[in-house]
Structure 1
């Protein structure tokens, strides 16, 4: 049976130890630090997660933070991530525990200081990442009940950003924030060019949103769709000149934002989705 020796107790749920490679690790488990002593042995069955310190950027700062926080904050972060993982049926990067704990602590500090920071992308987060937002909203409600505080809905938007960014297949937080901003701007470009209000309850909107999310992800990963067949592209742009004009405006916007080139194949699919959403 694999065992770990307690080197330092951080709080009731976290202890420092070393793994079989003699690397420092943080062990997480319900109550594993409670009544524990340095030198005690822990069975693997007691451990929920094992974080290798050298794999976590800025870990010393997080360690200092953990030792300064109430156990409630640790437990609330654990609860939120467990709930999110089960509800969204996904896995998260190990670093999300630390970044989310840091964010929650900062949010609670701001609450007690009376500082309110408006999340200007709250509406877009609700629209683009509804599942993550609902999970985050539930988490905020739970935290408010446990701590007898009143964190605002904006915090659910902030936590949703962390959940999106923390999923294993996602990019950096900077990419996540930029993606949401670009999605918002692209929808505004389409609405302005066609003088319409897009029905955000429609199936075409949902399909377009999904396409754009994957499109932006492919751009970040440098995996754009490519094709040598130009015939269909030429046919479409002749038949739908207004949609092509709009797609070109979006193309120029993305080039300006990201300093990239965009393939005709990607523009073709963009035009087809614009056709669906505006007609």
Structure 2
């Protein structure tokens, strides 16, 4: 490879014969290097390809205000996650998570509180990613000698899930917000305050996430639930009608059709919750 540009002592851009422009990271890899010099891949602790020109530019901009030590910590974080899941992460995490954590740390150092209203829902939806995020937070606490709020685990979880599934972070956030909106509708309609630790609430949230995933990927199977639907409609009319209200909200937000059978499953979940 040929050095194209040295970004700092530990990061440089090189031209790879197969991948084109790549980013190399490693302690001292950029020290005294000049554009045009040859460099072998074994000199790098890590190298990655940001195929999107926008992401390349965003990463370069990060290096203008984030110090080299923090960049090094972030690269170690990515390696921890990849080792844990035995996969290659989508490389947009280098931009997204580095940017997010840098400013999160700055806010914490300034004494600003970090709120995460969807922490429990995030843990329920993505338990493997949540466990990895907890490991990262504990590791950063030691490395930075900093008390990191629990809410930050949820935000890191979403970045990890985004990188593992190649899904846009904004889409994941929209789905989380949709579930939160539907829970609010349930509380208002049934005139209850749902206990977020109740097993029936945990089941409902898991069901919502699975249902949204099936709708998005068109993986619903034909399901003959007409008889059960008729029974539920007669036995639990309030919950059955509320189930259809939630289905219409999902269809509007996701801009996709939701199968009628979903009313059956939601009615059962809602009936259990309504017993509170």
TM range (shorter): 0.7 to 0.9
Q: Aligned residue for 2:262?
A: 266
Change (3 A) 1:75 1:47: closer
User: How many residues were matched structurally?
Assistant: 271
Decide whether the 8 Å contact of 2:194 with 2:201 is kept in 1: no
Q: Aligned residue for 1:50?
A: 48
Would you say 1:82 and 2:95 are equivalent positions? no
Q: Aligned residue for 2:142?
A: 145
Q: 2:118 aligns with which of 102, 118, 121?
A: 121
Would you say 1:225 and 2:220 are equivalent positions? yes
TM-score of the superposed pair, with normalisation by structure 1: 0.77
Paired residue secondary structure (2:222) = coil
User: Within 2, Cα distance between the matches of 1:168 and 1:44?
Assistant: 29
Q: Show the 5 A alignment for 1:68-107.
A: 68-88=65-85, 91-107=88-104
Decide whether the 8 Å contact of 2:29 with 2:43 is kept in 1: no
Would you say 1:185 and 2:163 are equivalent positions? no
Paired residue secondary structure (2:261) = helix
Q: Aligned residue for 1:155?
A: 152
User: Within 1, Cα distance between the matches of 2:120 and 2:196?
Assistant: 15
Decide whether the 8 Å contact of 2:11 with 2:30 is kept in 1: no
Q: Give the alignment's Cα RMSD to 1 decimal.
A: 3.4
TM-score of the superposed pair, with normalisation by structure 2: 0.78
Change (3 A) 1:20 1:275: farther
User: Within 2, Cα distance between the matches of 1:33 and 1:177?
Assistant: 37
Q: 1:20 aligns with which of 17, 22, 25?
A: 17
Unaligned 5+ runs, structure 1: none
Change (3 A) 1:87 1:188: farther
Would you say 1:209 and 2:169 are equivalent positions? no
Paired residue secondary structure (1:6) = strand
Q: Aligned residue for 1:41?
A: 39
Decide whether the 8 Å contact of 2:58 with 2:95 is kept in 1: no
User: Within 2, Cα distance between the matches of 1:146 and 1:104?
Assistant: 13
Change (3 A) 1:237 1:141: same
Q: 2:248 aligns with which of 238, 246, 252?
A: 252
Unaligned 5+ runs, structure 2: none
Q: Which stretch shows the higher mean deviation, 106-115 or 90-99?
A: 106-115
Structure 1 position 17, deviation (Å): 0.9
